[in-house]
A and B are shown apart, each in its own frame.
Chain A
Amino acid sequence: GAGVSQSPSNKVTEKGKDVELRCDPISGHTALYWYRQSLGQGLEFLIYFQGNSAPDKSGLPSDRFSAERTGGSVSTLTIQRTQQEDSAVYLCASSLVPRGADTQYFGPGTRLTVL
């Protein structure tokens, strides 16, 4: 595709519900990353995929957060039993070279609001 796309662009949910956020990376990019940007905070790394495997999950804040990637392309970030502190913009990025050694191309993000 022309760029990284994410859906939905906005998501409002009630505390305790599960949500799924989707990322479509640039075609041919084998590396995919998820980040979170909370109000007043910098971007925080969540997880890195190389192909369908996730060698680096060190940024996931709790076991309520999980992610998968299928077909070396689309990735889904799932947050279970959402809490108000999960409210943030979730950004996805992809890169051609693995392991984050080159420019990462970012999607527009999903703004998650937990009421």
Chain B
Amino acid sequence: KQEVTQIPAALSVPEGENLVLNCSFTDSAIYNLQWFRQDPGKGLTSLLLIQSSQREQTSGRLNASLDKSSGRSTLYIAASQPGDSATYLCAVSAYSGAGSYQLTFGKGTKLSVIP
């Protein structure tokens, strides 16, 4: 059974700092990996999707890397801003054998960026 772990569970940084969020997964037979952002009372917003054949994806100040063989991904946030404060979730997609690719989520990293 796929398990996804995110470290740290919570992180507090001063504004302007660069930071790295970590995600590890136990089964490397994944289809893709996604990073989501979750704000209180709101749903998840997809930030980056990395296909299993790719090594990284970039969007603005965000860069996500994937090392499928070692079961690891990192989300790098440059020049953090207070508006980046949210919970960041990592999810891996794998074929369930029951008709769909299921997402397995980590429990998230709660990020606080202090002005």
Binding site for B on A (CB under 8 A): 4, 6, 31, 33, 35, 40-45, 48, 50, 55-59, 91, 93, 98-109
Contact = CB atoms under 8 A, between A and B. Distances in A.
A58 B106 contact: no
Q: A59, A100, A105 — which one has the most chain B CB atoms within 10 A of its CB?
A: A100
B69 interface: no
Interface residues of B, number: 27
Contacts, number: 77
A33 B31 CA distance: 17
Contact of A43 (B46, B89, B93): B89
> Interface majority SS on B: helix, strand, loop or mixed?
strand
A42 B105 contact: yes
B98 A58 contact: yes
Given A43-B105, A101-B93, A56 B100 contact: yes
Contacts of B34: 103-104
A56 B98 contact: yes
B61 to A, nearest CB: 19
A103 B49 contact: yes
B59 interface: no
A57 B99 CA distance: 9
